[in-house]
Structure 1
Amino acid sequence: MTSPSNVTVVLTLAFVLLFLFIYFWVRFKLSEELPDDFATAMARAERMHPQLRIDLEPLDEPPWSDSNRINLIANTLGELGYELDGIFEANAHIPFLIQGFKNKQQSSFAALYELKQFDYPILDLLADLSEGISITITNARDAGLDVRPFSKLVRLEHLDLSEPEQIQEMHQCLCDELEGQTTVDLKDTHFEEYFKSSWANSMDWRIERGGLTTEEVIRMAQKNGEPEPSEEEIELAKNPWKQRIDLFILNQIWQEYCNNTNMTDEEWLQIFDRLVIVHEHSEAFHLIDTLADSIYNSSDQDHVEDDEEEHPYFKVLQQLNEIFDSEASVMDAFHRALELLPPDQKYVLQSTKETPWKSEIYLIPEPHNG
């Protein structure tokens, strides 16, 4: 069982790297060429899926682009009491190398990153206070993204880590922040497990927020000297996050439902395409399409041949869109829309959950034959 103090630590470790990851996810295309304008960046970013979970691949000989500077940083960290705790490559859309260190005496971590979009390495020094506050000292630039609650982030953006004194300055800054404080004991903790847990917890916080916020997208544009993005450009940045979050939660709920339901393969085949999962972060258009098919296909309406008369299916879509647009909660809208189903096509509730995401699973009745 994870202790409360361990939960605090995992919320910290990948904090700054997530800033960089989200920033470059939005701002750059995969070929490393900077787009001509913000709208182009948003459109290209839409083709990349946000990384809600991450894996680290251990490396024996990492291909650092500036090995001399990396060695200087690592040696200086060693002199300051940080011990090497793994070198990895992250499996991500924007790949990066990461070298982990642990300072047992101070009960803190160091994470050294190299991203090819930066011309110098990024170093995070991290520790967690027993009162629940996480401390991060970094030389990463401010990308315009929100800081998580219960976190204190100190930026030393002027440091490019080219001299030992700069690493020492960062370490002293962490020592100053920890003076007189009680830290969480990390002696039995390894870098890899905490990094992956930290990434997952940070992304879960983003999931709860629905991905990127409008304010964050605007600030990212400002940081790059771009004009304030239009509503369309903002949605281009936010939509891939919403879609990825929806799919991620669907998969989590589906896997749990499968694991807890005793059915034969034949029984699964009979209901697989008739299950509907709705959760608090569902994308409305998926639910609208499913409901529209159930309502229209179960009706006895003749197909309309007159181009001047609106097709009944589009009338159903319009009605459903109005319902979902009028409700703040997608689940409340779904419940209202269920009332439009004819009696013989009512969805049958199979399962409900409140945590980690509020959700419901329904079964669509078998279609009529003939």
Structure 2
Amino acid sequence: MIMILYVALGVILGFVILILLIWFWIKFKLRKFSSHLAEALSNMGGVGVPPLRIELEKNDQLEWTDSAKKKSTTEALESLGYWVAGSFDSYAPVHVKMLGFKNPDLPGFALIYEVDQANAFYLDLVCEMSDGTQITVSTAPDDGMDHPEFSKMIRMDHLNLSDESHVNQLHNRMLEEIAGKTVVDHTDKSFEEVFKKSWARTMDWRIERGGITTEEVMRVSAKEGRTDLSDEEIEMVKQPWKQEISYFIDEQIRKTYLKETNMSGDEWEEMVDRIFIVHERSDVESIISELADTISYSDDFDEDDDLYERTETQLKSLFNSADSIMDGFHRALDLLPADKKYSLHGSTNHPWKGEIYLSPPYDEDEDEDY
């Protein structure tokens, strides 16, 4: 398993809100499907994958849709020893309004959040244990999504946050859960910093799983009343996650490699357009497209218009039979013509294991002949 190094902060916030946003994203994609797949494909834009790393924008003038509930919930929390630690906007990718709290007496955090597009207003209470696990007591309903092994989730979605006694019930349940356990105090850290670390930890768990799973898509679909999703529709929901994960790791490897090789800016600029990064979360479709382009472009004397399609089919078969993505790529390199080989330039092990190749140099003189 890829090892991810974390700064020792409270990676305990944002878990439920992230799961909610993923659930909302899947629902959006499923609702975009029509009876005709071509029409569904044309409608896939509009909402992107939740970011693998999140940014919060401080905003002390948030306009809450349910301002009365926000006010009563805040007052109830303050009476229990919580104090406001910041209000924020985030676009992940839909607009989320957040009001964070700290409670040094637990110690732990609370989060009020509102997602307009999902008509959602929820409250989470969170604490981290000394073994790195987290306990979350939330008013958010079950969403059908999987949870990481480091998180224990208690849902109390029957509670009415307009009733102060119901907020007290949520708090008392947390007290029951942490009784006799060692709770780690991170309340000296900024709310924003703790939230972002939590988001990163949960997203890294998602990356390890390859994004969202077929089972998750099917469970959310069933909740929406659809149990007849085709394999192609399921893959359409999963594919954007694979692409986003591939791009994210590409950029992490690129930055690490640039730093470790100590190349000058001029040296990097000369080769940056030829850099091709491969890792075990690479988007296979993108690799196949890149190599098929290289192979079909290199065969100057073949007038077969189907060369690209035949090469693509061959590469798909090769990757399907490979032990891993990198194994498939290594085998695919053998198909390249001698004058169009990719050369291994280096590799990385942290934070992600990957290989950095240089694609064949672009022949400007040859291009001018066409």
Equivalent pairs: percent with the same residue? 42
Rounded to whole Å, the distance in 1 between the matches of 2:195 and 2:245 is 21
**314-323 or 175-184: which moved more?**
314-323
Counterpart AA for 2:273:
D
Rounded to whole Å, the distance in 2 between the matches of 1:104 and 1:356 is 33
**Correspondence for 1:338 among 333, 338, 360:** 333
- Structure 1 position 27, deviation (Å): 1.5
Task: Determine the structure 2 residue equivalent to 1:71.
Answer: 71
Q: Would the aligned equivalents of 1:124 and 1:138 in 2 still touch at CA under 8 Å?
A: yes
What pairs up with 1:102-181 in 2 under 5 angstroms? Answer: 102-119=102-119, 121-181=121-181
Q: Would the aligned equivalents of 1:45 and 1:237 in 2 still touch at CA under 8 Å?
A: no
Q: Would the aligned equivalents of 2:139 and 2:157 in 1 still touch at CA under 8 Å?
A: yes
Q: Would the aligned equivalents of 1:301 and 1:312 in 2 still touch at CA under 8 Å?
A: no
What pairs up with 1:9-158 in 2 under 5 angstroms? Answer: 9-10=10-11, 12-28=12-28, 44=43, 47-50=46-49, 51-119=51-119, 121-158=121-158
- Structure 1 position 150, deviation (Å): 2.0
1:11-48 per-position Cα deviation (integer Å, ceiling 9, x unaligned): x211100111111112137xxxx768698889755543
Secondary structure of the equivalent of 1:112? strand
Q: Would the aligned equivalents of 2:211 and 2:238 in 1 still touch at CA under 8 Å?
A: yes
Rounded to whole Å, the distance in 2 between the matches of 1:156 and 1:101 is 19
Counterpart AA for 2:360:
P
Q: Would the aligned equivalents of 2:83 and 2:103 in 1 still touch at CA under 8 Å?
A: yes
Structure 1 gaps, min length 5: 305-309
Q: Would the aligned equivalents of 2:253 and 2:348 in 1 still touch at CA under 8 Å?
A: no
Rounded to whole Å, the distance in 1 between the matches of 2:142 and 2:292 is 45
- Structure 1 position 104, deviation (Å): 0.2
1:273-331 per-position Cα deviation (integer Å, ceiling 9, x unaligned): 22211111111122122222333444463323xxxxx7444332222121012124211
1:114/1:208 Cα in 2 relative to 1: closer, same or farther (>3 Å)?
same
TM-score (norm 2): 0.88
RMSD: 2.6
Task: Determine the structure 2 residue equivalent to 1:324.
Answer: 319
- Structure 1 position 267, deviation (Å): 3.6
1:36/1:230 Cα in 2 relative to 1: closer, same or farther (>3 Å)?
closer
**102-111 or 266-275: which moved more?**
266-275
Rounded to whole Å, the distance in 2 between the matches of 1:340 and 1:41 is 35
1:169-197 per-position Cα deviation (integer Å, ceiling 9, x unaligned): 00000000011111012231221111111
What pairs up with 1:350-365 in 2 under 5 angstroms? Answer: 350-365=345-360
1:43/1:168 Cα in 2 relative to 1: closer, same or farther (>3 Å)?
farther
Structure 2 gaps, min length 5: none
Q: Would the aligned equivalents of 2:102 and 2:109 in 1 still touch at CA under 8 Å?
A: yes
Counterpart AA for 1:184:
V
1:216-247 per-position Cα deviation (integer Å, ceiling 9, x unaligned): 00111122232242212211211111111111
**39-48 or 227-236: which moved more?**
39-48
Rounded to whole Å, the distance in 1 between the matches of 2:319 and 2:362 is 25
1:319/1:28 Cα in 2 relative to 1: closer, same or farther (>3 Å)?
closer
The size of the alignment, in residue pairs, is 358
- Structure 1 position 129, deviation (Å): 1.1
Task: Determine the structure 2 residue equivalent to 1:307.
Answer: none
**262-271 or 280-289: which moved more?**
262-271
What pairs up with 1:248-327 in 2 under 5 angstroms? Answer: 248-299=248-299, 301-304=301-304, 311-327=306-322
- Structure 1 position 128, deviation (Å): 1.1
Q: Would the aligned equivalents of 2:32 and 2:44 in 1 still touch at CA under 8 Å?
A: no
